[in-house]
Amino acid sequence: VYRFSFEEQLLGIFNNPAFMTIPNMVVNKNDPFSRYIAQERLDEIQDGWIYQTLLDILEGAINSTKLFVVGLIIYVDKTHSDHKGRFCLEPVIAYLTILNQETRAQFGAQIILGYINDLELSSSAYKRTTVDPKHKGRSCRNWHKQMEVLLQPISHYQQGIRTTDLQDNLIRAKIIIDDPENKKQFCQVCKLYPTILCVLGDGKSQDNFVGRFASHNQGTQRACWQCDVKPADLSNPYQWRYIAW
């Protein structure tokens, strides 16, 4: 599995003065290190309910240890490395929600976590006729095994918030944020707490993420392995229940 240093890339963004400026960030303009106040217009992910709920949970740690919450958007999409698309790689990229949409699109504002290899080179027709039924789902399991490796650094830092002792595992950084309009700078030494807020990708990548069955036809008994919802009932939030193992 090709995995790159999450910490080095994250600190590279925080140390880039072109990004760390108030007009390019989703922070409070008067005090960028204080709790972000959601705007009435839902324009950024940090304006949403998930991020605000996370801040409620971490409020004590934010105030006592100068915790700086770094929301992440994970983007996954397969790309071809040859003419016919037989050999593919699936880049796994992280974007920081503290940067606004325009800034996130700039070169260098992304964190490349690594690449997922396509370990199943056989065609679908060949696998249908030759693969042992007990090996069904192997490609999805291979995908998750590789994704586990790529997300391990983020998982490591998230575990660090659970106890005071483990908070030393968080990334410690001196953050400088420029305010060109008022001609001043904000500076503070913080502990960076990266956490995933959103996952984006195409249909197949999303199916792999949530454990959805690859078949989408009406004959499929249930859409996901963890619940009994049928494809016809996917739009009904009340027609499902978790499957107990």
Evaluate if residue 149 carries a pLDDT over 90.
yes
Q: Pick the residue with more confidence: 157 or 45? A: 45
Evaluate if residue 174 carries a pLDDT over 90.
yes
pLDDT confidence of 20, banded at 50, 70, 90? very high
* 3-class SS string, 90-128: EEEEEEECCECHHHHCCCCCEEEEEEEECCCCCCHHHHH
pLDDT confidence of 230, banded at 50, 70, 90? confident
Cα–Cα distance between 208 and 123 in angstroms, integer?
18
| pLDDT score for 62 | 67
Q: Are 12 and 112 in contact (CB under 8 A)?
A: no
Longest Cα separation, the chain: 69
| pLDDT score for 127 | 55
pLDDT confidence of 66, banded at 50, 70, 90? confident
Q: Are 127 and 120 in contact (CB under 8 A)?
A: yes
| pLDDT score for 128 | 55
What percentage of the chain has pLDDT greater than the value 90? Answer: 36
Mean pLDDT score of the chain: 82
Cα four-point dihedral sign 53, 109, 89, 152: negative
pLDDT confidence of 113, banded at 50, 70, 90? very high
| pLDDT score for 104 | 94
Evaluate if residue 97 carries a pLDDT over 70.
yes
Cα–Cα distance between 194 and 181 in angstroms, integer?
28
| pLDDT score for 125 | 53
Q: Which two tokens stand for residue 78?
A: 């397969």
Q: Are 152 and 172 in contact (CB under 8 A)?
A: no
Query: Distances in Å between the alpha carbon of 184 and those of 130, 187, 195, 223?
Result: 67, 10, 29, 54
